[in-house]
């Protein structure tokens, strides 16, 4: 994502205000780099809570003035150590308190107390999460669903891009660029009023004068 962004900025001299992507691009590195560059990271963040049978980290509230977390039972998780190789800070509850907790079975299986990890760059993630509640973010995601995702579906369904036929990064890039060129050419022909069919079942634009409307029985090639 970042390589593509820098290339666009350099080649086309653009200064985007926001970058929109799906959850795959919602990494700490992307969020931090985009925000530092003055570009809003409009990306969904991974839902790690869904990957554990216990209480997820979102159930624990961070208290900045105490540099500690509070569990759903309002018990503190104090700062224990930092793992610089993982770039996280470890917060752990008192083992005796945790083992006596009535909801321990839903929280952790560890006899040493529940722990929560906090990224060194948590403030960036909090900033990105705050975007999710804005109408601007929701509008950007709706546009992506209409502008970007249909192109992926068209490339897979009509241009055989469900899998690459070639091997090697250079050849794969060439194959992808050829497909994208074909898609752009079809749209240019539609915009310029060229009168022939430019899609397997008719026109990509329905309802314009002089364009064909595909029949319901016509299946994409």
Query: Does 102 reside within a domain?
Result: yes
pLDDT value for 70: 97
Amino acid 214: pLDDT: 44
pLDDT given for residue 196 in this prediction = 57
Do both 54 and 69 map to the same domain?
yes
56 shares its domain with 113: yes
**100 has a pLDDT exceeding 80:** yes
- Looking at the structure of the chain, the number of domains it has is 3
* pTM for the predicted model, two decimal places: 0.73
Q: Of 42, 49, 46, 121, which Cα lies nearest the Cα of 84?
A: 121
Pair 40, 98 in one domain: no
Q: State residue 221's pLDDT score.
A: 40
Has residue 140 been placed in a domain? Answer: no
Bigger pLDDT: 194 or 118? 118
199 lies in a domain? Answer: no
99/85 same-domain check:
yes
What rounded mean pLDDT belongs to the chain? 88
- For residue 54, being part of any structural domain is answered with yes
**Inter-CA distances, 190 with 79, 104, 153, 157, 159, Å:** 61, 62, 19, 19, 18
In a domain? residue 216: no
Q: Is the pLDDT of residue 207 over 70?
A: no
At 2 the pLDDT is 93
Check pLDDT > 80 for residue 212: no
Query: Shortest CA distance to 175 belongs to which of 159, 197, 151?
Result: 159
Residue 203, domain member (yes or no) = no
Decide: residue 9, CB within 10 A, 0-12 exposed, 13-18 middle, 19+ buried: middle
Residue 158 belongs to domain spanning: 149-192
Q: Which two tokens stand for residue 119?
A: 């990224």
- Residue 119, strand partner residues: 88
Dihedral angle, C-alpha 178, 179, 182, 186, nearest 10 °: -160
Residue 206 maps to a domain: no
């Amino acid at each position: 994502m970042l390589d593509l962004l820098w290339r666009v900025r350099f080649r086309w001299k653009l200064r985007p205000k926001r970058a929109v992507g799906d959850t795959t691009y919602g990494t700490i590195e992307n969020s931090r780099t985009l925000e530092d560059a003055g570009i809003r990271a409009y990306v969904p963040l991974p839902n790690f809570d869904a990957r554990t049978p216990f209480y997820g980290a979102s159930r624990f509230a961070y208290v900045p003035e105490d540099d500690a977390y509070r569990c759903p039972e309002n018990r503190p998780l104090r700062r224990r150590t930092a793992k610089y190789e993982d770039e996280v800070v470890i917060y752990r509850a008192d083992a005796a308190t945790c083992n006596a907790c009535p909801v321990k079975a839903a929280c952790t299986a560890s006899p040493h107390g529940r722990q929560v990890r906090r990224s060194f760059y948590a403030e960036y993630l909090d900033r990105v999460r705050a975007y999710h509640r804005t109408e601007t973010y929701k509008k950007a995601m709706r546009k992506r669903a209409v502008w970007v995702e249909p192109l992926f579906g068209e490339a897979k369904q009509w241009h055989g891009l469900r899998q690459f036929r070639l091997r090697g990064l250079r050849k794969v890039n060439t194959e992808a660029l050829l497909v994208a060129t074909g898609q752009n050419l079809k749209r240019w022909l539609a915009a310029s009023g060229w009168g022939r069919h430019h899609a397997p079942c008719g026109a990509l634009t329905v309802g314009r004068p002089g364009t064909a409307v595909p029949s319901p029985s016509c299946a994409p090639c």
